[in-house]
Structure 1
């Protein structure tokens, strides 16, 4: 039976803005308060989805969230009609309104952690929604994320869904941005790789001093237990706290893996040699041959990696066994990064080609190609059980492009977030989107 790695990309929401909400994310903070272009952002994301589909890769789409989140504002003491809640928040606590309008759910690498059926005890694909409790604007996402994933992967024979972990610092969970999987074939048993920034209970692990470590060891271990993973099929590794303090807020800003290959920066991890040996040994036990590509700091600095998002790329397997790297334009603009990539692809190694995409709207808010996609390994039977409305096709691309053109603004500033009309525009657009994607009622305004 054939198996695939399907990339489900996040569709950028109508309230895409530069609120500068993500402390520790250099791009998010440095572009704070600039005007955004939600229409351009959504179309850039859709263009990447369409391009990968045209290249023969399996591609899906994951819907955005309702914003502003009026229910969240009500929980914080704002009352009245929806319009009055927004107006009061804008007048009395603008930062809370900005947080409630965040379109950060577009970065669906943080939506959940996914384990394929070949790895799990019950032979189902398991999803655990990320609690994202390190940042308030993201911590309010998981209830809707769970409903959307449930509507996409609804067949209980093949799919199992877990609620987010307890929303406390000890179980900070940022989803697939700190998780990857190594395997010989997507449908075969593999080794799941969990990267954490700190331990909540074990003081032997060092912690960063400047920026918060968002993923805990304890959260990663809990997800592995929920998914029924075997000890011999799991490797835990600690992110280098020094690179977290340089703006590497998730592992997918400093490393990316696919198939049997890990592409990583020399300074990405602690105890690197021990980690590589463990990955090699465990993958060998299930028939795989682990390979790694280390980018030396002498060629690409951590600062280069953060500014270019070299590692926040998509590493994709081609039928001939070679790999394709999908990178943002910022890699081409960085002289050292681009020189490294040219030497990499001309060396005859595993990564043979680099394709560049314009994702400026997302990049300015701190999210590159890897942030925009949630990877789900599926066999043919499981893929057939996925809601067909969310699988990208040429007609769906056309429908979504027309939908964006119809509903999205081409400019959004902080002052625009105080306009109650924006909520109505968002709800109208999302109501139509659920029909296009055949999701049913997944948003609070459709349920309540």
Structure 2
């Protein structure tokens, strides 16, 4: 069985809007109340996946969830007509597009039962995300239904917050070999909540049947959280043997590095110093919220990062020096995901990494050029061109959003998700 890394991107849903629902997410707060462009956003996401395919990478996708979430509103004894504005916005949110928060994934080589384990994240810290897991779990169980190869778990129960793979990293000699799984948790972050609880991380590790000697729990820096690094993947990313991190990503960085090296001596830790790239620069550019990937056929590693990183002189200057100096990152690939970035999610937020044999995954969730063309056609025809904040209560917009999603499900043969 050939195990490869498959990046599953969340299709940006037709209800994509800027409601500013995420405290601690600077981009989300700064753009609250702006007019969004759902059609452009989703097409940017399609182009990102298309670019990955052309790099020779395996690519999958997840469908948008049903929005507004009327069942969640009903549980609050309200609906889109009568709900308070912040509740209405939470029900309408398209935040499930950030598939890095869909689940935590432990590949088969790391687990004692030899199956890939996926645990849906509860996302309970933020109201607009706390009701995602029900729809996400249905989709995970459909995509990874082959119980010979996968085990899909429900979310960690309250009160322990779990934000999925955005606070998780894996180091390994190669994707198909046993690795070191690193769970990054928070304690506090100044005025902002720490979203990943260590209790949740430990529960996921136990559920996934991981070897304790190949599992680490590392605290995220309180300074980083206070600066706007609401998830670890805003300040650090790993791929195979490489940990690419900001100097201020972890609370006790030297202790963290020693623990990594003790368990995986061949790990290469690439540290971006704060004197070259400040936390503010890293967070504004989403330097680390990038896809660090291994190119096929011995092409080395590439960093797929937002165009905002290219526009930041400090960030781009450091990256160019690294590539010129024969570091492990050999190629820089800027991509345009401006609509997602404006809501606080870069290329890494948009994808969930799953190491598996693609033939064991429901093929309807695996991308190719033909499928992406078909999805792009549906999006161009059905997605709203723009959404202003005062439109969320408009029944006509609700109807358009729901019809658009159904058109995409039908085009992809995923009627079970209707």
Equivalent residue of 2:227, what SS?
A: coil
**How far 1:141 moved relative to its partner?**
0.1
The match for 2:184 is: 195
Q: Alignment partner for residue 279 of structure 2, among 278, 281, 302?
A: 302
Aligned to 2:302: 324
Which secondary structure does the structure 2 equivalent of 1:418 belong to? Answer: coil
TM-score by length of 1: 0.91
- Using the TM superposition, give the Cα deviation of residue 338 of structure 1 relative to its aligned residue in structure 2, in angstroms: 1.2
**Structure 1 stretches of 4+ moved >6 Å:** none
1:148 aligns with 2:134: no
Question: Aligned to 1:315, what secondary structure does the other structure show?
Answer: strand
Q: How far apart, in 2, do the equivalents of 1:87 and 1:313 lie?
A: 39
Aligned partner of residue 46 in structure 2, secondary structure: helix
Matching of residue 159 in structure 1 with residue 150 in structure 2: yes
CA deviations on 1:350-374 (whole Å, 9 max, x unpaired) are 1111111111100000000000000
Alignment of 1:19-418 (within 5 A): 19-78=19-78, 85-89=79-83, 93-168=84-159, 171-198=160-187, 207-284=188-265, 289-318=266-295, 319-320=297-298, 322-378=300-356, 380=357, 383-418=358-393
What are structure 1's unaligned runs of at least 5 residues? 79-84, 199-206
What is the alpha-carbon distance in structure 2 between the residues aligned to residue 245 and residue 401 of structure 1?
38
For structure 2, the 5+ residue unaligned runs are: none
- Following superposition, the deviation at residue 260 of structure 1 comes to 0.4
The one-character-per-residue Cα deviations of 1:240-284 (angstroms, maximum 9, x if unpaired) are 111101111000000000000000000111221222122122124
How many residue pairs are counted as aligned between the two chains? 417
Indicate conservation of the 8 Å contact 1:8/1:375, yes or no: yes
Does the 8 Å CA contact 1:148/1:439 hold for their aligned counterparts?
no
More deviation, 265-274/139-148: 265-274
Q: CA deviation at 1:424?
A: 2.2
Deviations 1:124-183 (A, max 9, x none): 111100000000000010000000111111111111111111132xx1100000001111
**Aligned equivalent of 1:4:** 4
* Cα gap change, 1:259 to 1:321, in 2 (>3 Å): farther
- The answer for the alignment partner of 1:201 in structure 2 is none
CA–CA distance in structure 2, aligned partners of residues 375 and 338 of structure 1? 25
Determine helix, strand or coil for the equivalent of 2:334. Answer: strand
TM-score, length basis structure 2:
0.97
Query: How much is the aligned-residue C-alpha RMSD, in angstroms?
Result: 1.2
Q: Secondary structure at the match of 1:36?
A: coil
Tell me by how many angstroms 1:433 deviates. 2.4
Is the contact made by 1:237 and 1:275 (CA closer than 8 Å) also made in structure 2?
Answer: yes
> What is the distance in 1 between the residues matched to 2:270 and 2:161?
29
